[in-house]
Amino acid sequence: MSDGDWRDGRFVQRRPSAETFAWVAASMGRGSRVVGCRRLTGGVCSAVNRLTVERRGVRTFVVLRQYPAGLGLQESLEKEIANLGVVAGSGLPVPSILAADVAGASTGGAPSLLMTRLPGHVDLNPAQPRSWMTRIAELAVSLHSLDLPAKTFRPWRDSWIAPLDELQVPADAHNPAVWKAAFGAMAAPPPPANAVFLHCDFLPVNMLWSRGRITGLTDWNGIHRGARAIDVGHCRRYLAALYSPEWAERLRSLYESIAGVTLDPWWDLYALLHHDDSQPKWVRRQVAGRRPVDAPGMTSRVEVAVEAALRRLG
């Protein structure tokens, strides 16, 4: 069985089971054996480990994602497997599937996915912020240019935001009137959008970097087709929360310049309003010590971005 537990709302796996190691070895070919295991930083609902597999004297790094046994999370794994199949061969820096055990039949009940290892690491302390954001904007433009199949995004249904009538002003809002005005703007029907291919979890913590280049885009659980401002808006929300509203505005400007389009402010605002009282805790867990986190100031920074989006909406 996958040996782990929940700490502060995050799944912490002590070590993959012997059954899991045997399954990995069998999946990598006769004569393979697991000779190394290192837990990777991050991962909130699943445990991610880098394994070293040796076969005929050659060592290979692979990545193992496992969900807790007995919690019915097979659907999340099934989505990721299907979505990785959609983006395979797209030119995006995504991992390839080596093996999967959705039911956990060979891994002690833990739904498991074995993937190729992408080079690089999560970079949340960019030495050159403008270049860093430019690379992110370029990746988003490339992503949105793909003609790939996915379900149409439905606001209020296909994300974790509360229904419109349940939205609440964050407890630490500096100016509650801004949030109430934004909720009022959301009462209007969503404007029609030129639907593009979306990642729907397009955040800096899901990007790998090496030598100033993005070498990986991970966590493929939620692809859809919809307004491009959804992806950019989620990334802007994260930049505002973790860094500053100025960084969020810079990303919008860079994306619009590279793509040659203007992001729809309604959809941008919709993405920004995914910030709520739970977000400081979630961001801290996702960052996982890779940079200082000013949790008390997150809401006020996102509030500035919300107010700017409201002004663009008119």
Per-residue pLDDT of 146-189, as tens digits, reads: 999 999 999 999 999 999 999 999 999 999 999 999 999 999 99
pLDDT-derived band at 13, boundaries 50, 70, 90 = low
Of 113, 117, 81, nearest in space to 100 by CA:
113
What confidence tens digit (pLDDT) does each residue in 25-72 have?
999 999 999 999 999 986 667 889 999 999 999 999 999 999 887 766
Last residue of a domain, one of 95, 116, 137: 116
pTM higher than 0.85 for the full model? yes
- β-pairing, 58-66 with 33-39? unpaired
In terms of C-beta density within 10 A (0-12 exposed, 13-18 middle, 19 or more buried), how is residue 147 classed? Answer: exposed
The DSSP symbol for 152 reads B
192 shares a domain with 98: no
pLDDT exceeds cutoff 50 at 310: yes
- β-pairing, 97-101 with 47-55? unpaired
Alpha carbons 78 and 31: distance in angstroms, whole number: 29
DSSP-H helix ranges across the chain: 18-27, 74-87, 129-144, 176-186, 228-242, 245-259, 265-272, 279-287, 298-313
87 shares a domain with 231: no
The answer to whether position 139 is within a domain reads yes
The answer to whether position 121 is within a domain reads no
The answer to whether position 122 is within a domain reads no
What domain count does the chain have? Answer: 2
Are residues 252 and 237 in contact, defined by beta-carbon separation less than 8 angstroms?
no
Q: Give CA angle at 294 (293, 298), nearest 5°.
A: 115
Residue type, 289: G
pLDDT exceeds cutoff 60 at 9: no
What confidence tens digit (pLDDT) does each residue in 106-150 have?
998 999 999 999 999 999 999 999 999 999 999 999 999 999 999
Give the per-residue pLDDT at 83: 98
Other CB atoms within 10 Å distance of the CB of residue 225: 18
Give the per-residue pLDDT at 91: 96
The answer to whether position 124 is within a domain reads no
Last residue of a domain, one of 55, 90, 116: 116
Residue type, 209: W
Q: Residue 168's domain spans which residues?
A: 129-313
Last residue of a domain, one of 58, 83, 116: 116
Q: Mean of the per-residue pLDDT values for the chain?
A: 93
Give the per-residue pLDDT at 14: 61
In terms of C-beta density within 10 A (0-12 exposed, 13-18 middle, 19 or more buried), how is residue 313 classed? Answer: middle
